[in-house]
Amino acid sequence: MSSLLLASAFGLGLSAPLVQAEEDALATRLDPILERAIAQQRIVGTVVMVARQGRVVYHRAAGFADRDAQRPMQEDQLFRFASLTKPLVAVTALRLADQGRLDLQAPVSRYLPYFTPHLADGTPAVPTLAQLLSHTAGLHYGFGEDQDGPYHRAGVSDGLDGAPLTLEENLRRLAGVPLDFKPGTQWRYSLGLDVLGGVLEAATGLPLPQVVQQQVAAPLDLHDLSFHVSEPSRLATAYRDGYPRPEPMSEPYLLPLPKGGILYSPARALSATAFPSGGGGMQGSAGEYLAFLEALRQGRLLTPTSQRLFMEDQIPRLQRDDAPGWGFSLGAAVLRDARLAKTPQTPGTLQWGGVYGNAWFIDPARELSVVILTNTAIAGMSGPFPDAIRDALYRD
């Protein structure tokens, strides 16, 4: 997709002749990183897009959408977002709060009367909507526990598998498991955005996909963001990391972790009956995600109050053991200490990733937004490939 099409389709500014040198310099830095990762078979295919000061200054598709079919990657390819879904659902909630239709400080039970969890000692402890957004609700993900853990025993889905559940059924199962800690006292990555998806349905009376469409996609005139892909030919084939090369994911596919494992169902993206996971169920293209990030960075989606809730650290008194130097807003990780985090990014940078092999970040101080989508889990989310792109963008 050309810069002209990106600008006209997504509302991003065209690069003026005066910044052509910057575009050429970025291509010189970034193109070899993409080509090397593909040649070394770290990833199968990728689309990388960069916007600076409201202009698309880099966009490139490389590798294969499907290696066996020799189908080359296209810039408008659709990818399984996994946790790149979370910021979209978070912004949907913040917009509803701006409209007075949602109270972020209210307990979840105001909207979902059945969601009344308790602590291990039986003490009632219902988190607020803000705590769902900040991952301080006392929940976690099943992929981080052993196979005999409480979420597995209760049959709770992480939203990436092919479990034949409705959203309400899954949340009722989750509500019956004791919380890990008193809400607001710790940070732990969790199914909070899936619970929030149920809240959004209850608050609006609409299915979650329709709420996200109305609140985010429609205002930005975006057409590829969805919970269900209706054009299979546009969806990149999902690959797993592997030596000597990545291989297509099986259906289902279990990625073992030091404790637990992630259960994927690549076919879920094509299922019209899969429940809409607010934490990991969406698909879309790099260009549209970049348009969303830029609208967010520029303050075109939220009121100033909600903008601060998304862009600034909302857990200043809590430490994240999983990511030194990083805090969390009501939507994304926020960089507190670049030295501690071992990153060249500016403090205040926001970022997150998705376990199908995707990553993004916004550096507000540099007016920089970056989207890295791949079809290779999890090499496109963390590790040498996204780190090399990040570091090249900060090389003066």
Class of domain 88-216: alpha beta
Rounded to the nearest integer, the mean pLDDT of the chain is: 95
Contact by Cβ (8 Å): 361, 351: yes
Query: What single letter denotes the amino acid at residue 77?
Result: Q
Task: Kindly name the residue from 83, 134, 157, 190 that is annotated as catalytic.
Answer: 83
Residue among 2, 306, 296 at smallest CA distance from 130? 306
Which uninterrupted H or E stretch holds 381?
Answer: none
Do the domains 88-216 and 3-86+224-239+275-393 match in fold?
A: yes
- 229 pLDDT band, cuts 50/70/90, is very high
User: How many angstroms separate the CA atoms of 203 and 228, rounded?
Assistant: 22
User: How many angstroms separate the CA atoms of 187 and 268, rounded?
Assistant: 29
pLDDT tens-place string over residues 34-76: 999 999 999 999 999 999 999 999 999 999 999 999 999 999 9
- pLDDT at residue 19, rounded to an integer: 65
- 8 pLDDT band, cuts 50/70/90, is very low
Look up residue 213 and give its DSSP letter: I
pLDDT tens-place string over residues 88-98: 999 999 999 99
Q: Would you kindly state where each structural domain of the chain is located, as residue ranges?
A: 3-86+224-239+275-393, 88-216
pLDDT tens-place string over residues 271-324: 999 999 999 999 999 999 999 999 999 999 999 999 999 999 999 999 999 999
What is the arithmetic mean of pLDDT over 88-114? 98
pTM above 0.85, yes or no: yes
Q: At what angle do helices 167-175 and 192-204 cross, to 10 degrees?
A: 120
pLDDT tens-place string over residues 10-40: 455 544 555 678 888 899 999 999 999 999 9
- pLDDT at residue 2, rounded to an integer: 42
pLDDT tens-place string over residues 353-389: 999 999 999 999 999 999 999 999 999 999 999 999 9
The question of whether 83 is a catalytic residue gets the answer yes
User: How many angstroms separate the CA atoms of 15 and 257, rounded?
Assistant: 43
Q: What percent of the chain has pLDDT over 90?
A: 92
Contact by Cβ (8 Å): 22, 57: yes
> Among the CATH numbers 3.40.50.1820, 3.40.50.1370, 3.40.710.10, 3.40.640.10, which is that of 3-86+224-239+275-393?
3.40.710.10
Residue among 192, 220, 214 at smallest CA distance from 289? 220
pLDDT tens-place string over residues 207-217: 999 999 999 99
